[in-house]
Amino acid sequence: MLFMPVLSGRADEAMPEPPELTVTKLTKPPPRIDGVLDDEAWKEASTISKFVRAYGMESETKCRLLITYDDKCLYLGIECPEPEEQMPKLKAKVTQHDGDRIWEDDEIELFIGPTGRRDFPYYHIFVNCKGVMADSYVTGRNEHDKSWEPKYQAEVSSGKEGWTLEMALPWECFDRTESSAAEWSFNFFHERSIGERLFWAPVFCETTHTPSAFGRLKGMPVRPLGKKGF
């Protein structure tokens, strides 16, 4: 089962409006997916640089998420900084696709809802710090359909002070959705094995699977999806 451990914090605080980001469409050639964010395309991407803990508390960790798209794919670039002394200690026990308990590794998770409804269903993707992936189509609480097997690219590179993930998700990946909206529901989660868990949109509860709290991606392409993709 694809679940996160219990998150601590205050549940009695008022939930703020979820964050929003307007995503810019590429005009340059797409990035080469090699785990290195040095392509000209990333200069056009929309950027998220503020991440918080589950209940909205500030973090000093300076992650960065880049998002853009073209007629073929949704592209994401993610920088996950770590202290130099922590790099040899990063956790990546899962070595096979869809391996159980990947959420306990140093990893990132994407929650993607092309309909924009901020409710079930949505697509859920994991990538750990060694580039191992897991994915499922989440149709409800405790309902994770692992038969969803999208074909996408994800590459990781590591340096002295962090690791970087680069992804290309072809529109055909989202084949459980008939058509998309101009505003997608979306969240980003980063598990650090030192004990920190970071979100773009804080969920204010004990599970990451809280679509009512997801953020919004604006400016997304409105096109049919279905079995044939875009």
Q: Is residue 4 part of a domain?
A: no
**Taking the CB of residue 15, how many other CB atoms lie within 10 A of it?**
15
- Assess if residue 158 is contained within a domain: yes
pLDDT band for position 79 (cuts 50, 70, 90): very high
* Separation between Cα atoms, residue 170 and residue 150, nearest integer Å: 9
pLDDT at 5: 40
Q: CA 98, 169, 63: angle at the middle one, nearest 5?
A: 80
Q: How many domains does the chain have?
A: 1
- Please report the pLDDT score of residue 229 as a whole number: 46
* pLDDT of 20 above 90: yes
Element (H, E) at 47: strand 46-48
Q: Give the CATH number of the domain where residue 166 resides.
A: 2.60.40.1190
Over residues 159-214, the pLDDT tens digits come to: 999 999 999 999 999 999 988 999 999 999 999 999 999 999 999 998 999 999 99
Q: Mind listing the pLDDT tens digit for each residue in 30-67?
A: 999 999 999 999 999 999 999 999 999 999 999 999 99
Using pLDDT thresholds of 50, 70 and 90, give the confidence band for residue 225. low
State the pLDDT at residue 21: 98
| pLDDT greater at residue 5 or residue 35 | 35
Residue 137 falls inside a structural domain:
yes
Q: Which domain holds residue 56?
A: 20-228
pLDDT interval class at 11 (50, 70, 90): very low
**In 121-136, which positions are buried (b, 16+ CB within 10 angstroms) versus exposed (e)?**
bbbbbbbbbbbbbbbb
In a domain, 7, yes or no: no
State mean pLDDT over 8-37. 84
In a domain, 13, yes or no: no
pLDDT at residue 169, rounded to an integer: 98
Q: Is residue 50 part of a domain?
A: yes
User: Model confidence at 226, in pLDDT bands (50, 70, 90)?
Assistant: low
d(CA 98, CA 51): 26
Select from 109, 137, 107 the least CA-distant residue to 123.
137
15 assigned to some structural domain: no
Q: Please report the pLDDT score of residue 23 as a whole number.
A: 98
How far apart (Å, rounded) are the C-alpha atoms in residues 228 and 173?
9
For the chain, percent of residues with pLDDT exceeding 90: 88
The pTM (predicted TM-score) of the whole model is 0.92
Instruction: Express each pLDDT in 122-161 by its tens digit.
Output: 999 999 999 999 999 999 999 999 999 999 999 999 999 9
The H-assigned helical ranges of 59-207 are none
Count Cβ atoms below 10 Å from residue 88 Cβ, excluding itself: 6
> What three-state secondary structure class fits 20?
strand
Using the predicted structure, report yes or no on whether residue 6 has a pLDDT greater than 80: no
What gap in Å lies between CA 128 and CA 190, rounded to an integer?
10
